[in-house]
Amino acid sequence: MRQFCTSIDSDRLIQGLGLCHSLGRHEPGAPLWVLCLDRPVEKVLERLQLPDVHPVPLAELESAEPTLRGARDFRSRDEYHLTATPAFLWHLLTRVPDTAPLTFVAPELCFFASPAALVAESSSGSIALTPRRFPPRRERLARYGRYDPGWITFLDDRSGREALAWWRNRCIEWCHARLEDGKFGAQKYLDDWTTRFQGVHVLANPGAGVAPWNVDALPVGTGAGGPTVGSAPLVFYHFHGFERISSWLYEPGLARYGASLTPELRQAIYEPYLLELRGIERTLRREVPGAPRGWGSARGFGLGALIRHALTKQLLVAR
């Protein structure tokens, strides 16, 4: 049985529910374990009772992982949430029966096709990593990490446990949103895993790892079954930086990487995603009154940037 997990807080609730819906649509029956990073998310998931979605309160994880709780006082909220990711994976893999192989998927991911091909490819190793595939002009971004922890898989074997335990321990020791001594957040730790651990596989499927930092260098199109990357289906897209500016205006997160919201990207990827998220928001408003409806916020997005983006058609407008 394919098993997935993610973590969701109130600021990313809408996107997290988008992940739940898209995974359930393309991989029905696959369990998705959700670390609820705050109580409002717990209440929403308890109320919605989504098929195959299993909420896990943060308090439960902290009780099982007391060293994790000790790191809270030395981290910002976002840094602590990153710290919790490998601890959550370790908790599931070692304490919850039959959760292996286990894949963490970021709440900003949306599936456009079945992940079955990725799961099959991941089984060729004990650990599967997703390359960021930076184009040459963005290779400098590799200093923040060469792999995207938005999809990372562990088998319950010696190599899988060794790598996950090492990652968990390192993140509890240090996990901050700054470059320091060759570290950055939780992701920079993954850089040398292909030589540090046995059985590490780097995903080759072009339908994985597509994101704002590389999408403008890839042959994205539309096929009969949905978006494509070259001749392959787009399995998932990482909507990193997707934020709401107002109730009807949205920032795709492309401009910060020098990428453009082309008509193809708008039609094939971004507008369907926005349509789904707004539908989820309406459902929340109707079924869970008072629930947070976080999309993230475009902090620092001033008037000048707003005008510049609008003039170059880099914003999404709700319909």
Q: Which of 266, 221, 212, 263 is nearest to 239 (CA)?
A: 212
Specify the amino acid at residue 202.
Answer: V
Lowest pLDDT segment from 39-43, 120-124, 161-165, 192-196: 120-124
pLDDT digits (tens, 9 = 90+) for 17-54: 999 999 999 999 999 999 999 999 999 999 999 999 99
Are 68 and 88 in contact by the 8 Å Cβ rule? The answer is no
Q: What CATH number is given to the structural domain containing 110?
A: 3.90.550.10
pLDDT at 317 over 90: no
For the chain, what is the domain count? 1
For 217, the token pair is 């260098």
| Structural domain that includes position 309 | 3-317
Are 207 and 236 in contact by the 8 Å Cβ rule? The answer is yes
pLDDT at 309 over 80: no
Are 21 and 283 in contact by the 8 Å Cβ rule? The answer is no
Q: Give the integer Cα–Cα distance in Å for 14 and 40.
A: 12
pLDDT digits (tens, 9 = 90+) for 80-106: 999 999 999 999 999 998 888 999 999
pLDDT at 296 over 90: no
